[in-house]
Chain A
Amino acid sequence: AQSVAQPEDQVNVAEGNPLTVKCTYSVSGNPYLFWYVQYPNRGLQFLLKYITGDNLVKGSYGFEAEFNKSQTSFHLKKPSALVSDSALYFCAVRDRGPNDYKLSFGAGTTVTVRA
C-alpha cells in the first residue's frame, strides 16, 4: 500500500522568506512523486514531479522539491515566497507496480504568505 503524510496542517511565512512544505511517503518500491496546488473553488494544478534522475526537481512558479530516498521525503521549497503563493498544497505518490496509475494524496497543507 502507498501513503503520503504531510505533517503540517498550516505553514505561515512572510513574503520574501523561504517556504518549505513537508511531505513523507510510504511505498513498496521506487515512487513517482508529485506536488499539486489548489486555489479556492478550483481544481488541483500540477506543480512538479519526480520520476527518476536528479533528486532536485524544478517546477512551475519558482517551486522546487528534493527527493530524499533515505528519509522517504519529498519536501516542496521556494526560495522567496509571494503573497500569491497562499493556497492549499498536496503531495501525492504513485507506485510503479501494476497500479501505477493510482495517485494517493496527503491531507494537504495550507500555506499563508503574509505581506
Chain B
Amino acid sequence: GAGVSQSPRYKVAKRGQDVALRCDPISGHVSLFWYQQALGQGPEFLTYFQNEAQLDKSGLPSDRFFAERPEGSVSTLKIQRTQQEDSAVYLCASSLPPREQYFGPGTRLTVT
C-alpha cells in the first residue's frame, strides 16, 4: 500500500515567515511522529500523536513550533516566525503500535 507522504518536499522561507508542513500517514496507523534532522545528524524526536491526541511534545524546540492532527489522520507541523536555525529536514513517521515506525521522504526547510 501507499507509504507515508509529506508535502512540500522542499520549502524555502524568509526569516520571520510562517510555514506549514503536511504529513499523510499510512492508512490505519494510529501513531504519528515528527522528527527534525539537521545536516549530518540523526533524526531528533519532536512530537508524538496517538490518534488525534498529542501525547508528547517534549521535543519541540520552542513555542514557535506547533503540531496538530485534528481528525487522527493527516498532521500539520507549523513553524511560526522561522529562524535560520530551523533549517533542517522534517521527517514524519507513522506506526501501528507496537510495530516499527515507517518514515516519509521528509520536507527540507531552508530559512534564508
Contacts and interface: CB of A to CB of B under 8 A. Distances in A.
A71 interface: no
Q: Which size class do A's interface residues fall under?
A: 20 to 34
Given A99-B56, A101-B48, A43 B105 contact: yes
A44 B102 CA distance: 8
Interface in A65-115: 90, 92, 99-108
A36 B100 CA distance: 10
Contacts, number: 53
B100 A108 contact: no
Contacts of B33: 101, 103
A107 B42 contact: yes
B63 to A, nearest CB: 21
A90 B42 contact: yes
Question: Which 6 A-B pairs give the minimum distances between C-beta atoms?
Answer: A105-B42, A43-B103, A44-B103, A43-B105, A43-B104, A105-B43
Interface of B: 4, 6, 31, 33, 35, 40-45, 48, 55-56, 91, 93, 97-98, 100-106
Interface of A: 4, 34, 36, 41-46, 49, 90, 92, 99-108
